[in-house]
Amino acid sequence: MATKNGSPAGAAPDRSSPDGFAAWNEEMVERYDIERYYERAHPVVRWLEHRRLAALLRLARPRPGDRVLEVGCGAGHVLERFAVAIRTGIDLSPGMLARTRRRLGAAVTLSRASADRLPFPDAAFDVVVCTEVLEHTPDPAAVVVELMRVAGPHGRVVVSIPNETEIDRVKRVLGRTPVLRRWLRTLAAEGNEWHLHRFDLALLRRIIAGSARIRGLVGIPGRLLPLRYVALLGAEPRAAGRPA
């Protein structure tokens, strides 16, 4: 027996095709419940998330009437924070889009789309946010190109990533200390099968090279222990003599 995406029943979808990748992504959506993460996670995780969202808003600087796009809007927890703006969200997952619609109602415009092929013209938005999404995409460099394109040269693009190098270091330290091992369970969800890339600041710099530059950077929860990074990206300056 085959599934509706053509894979044998019980087999993982073939991620090499767009349809197969979308089916696999939908499986991950069901397996890793974002509602539980935001609403019932360990208090330490919720504290980290609060700091991440605060940094995101600080760098994005949404103003009344700004056109804001969230790429990979999930269940709408981030887009909810941009209530002063004209909001648009895209996600590859129909399930996630349905959750965003339940959360935000008709106040947002939602579309199903892939992050590396955004269905919008150049410079269509004042603010573009893409948080904890790049590590889940097959080609994060192509996603960054699209983020910069739809923001245009004067738009504000804000991304956030897990800093898995630091997360792994903290896990090793906690694992050696019996009384702290329970905190290891708090961080266990940071590395899972949904991540297609092992992100850190070095990888972020590599994937944006040639298409964007980092204009602002915040470590979460802080500079000395950056388990996540929130980055404000700007357009690469044009080389002297390069035609517009």
Instruction: Give the pLDDT confidence score for residue 241 in this predicted structure.
Output: 42
**Domain assignment present for 184:** yes
**Domain assignment present for 149:** yes
Count the domains in the chain.
1
**Domain assignment present for 197:** yes
Within 10 A of 35 (CB to CB), how many other CB atoms are there?
12
Q: Is the pLDDT of residue 184 over 90?
A: no
pTM for the model stands at: 0.86
Distance, CA of 27 to chain centre: 18
Rounded distance between C-alpha atoms, residue 21 and residue 23, angstroms: 5
**Domain assignment present for 3:** no
pLDDT digits 0-9 by tens, 97-123: 999 999 999 999 999 999 999 999 999
> What CATH number corresponds to the domain at position 117?
3.40.50.150
The two tokens of residue 232 are 């404000």
**Domain assignment present for 28:** no
- pLDDT confidence band for 181 (50 / 70 / 90): low
**Residue type (1 letter), 222:** G
> Which domain does 56 fall in, by range?
40-235
The full DSSP string for 22-83 is HHHHHHHHHHS-HHHHHHHS-HHHHHHHHHHHHHHHHHH---TT-EEEEES-TTSTTGGGGT
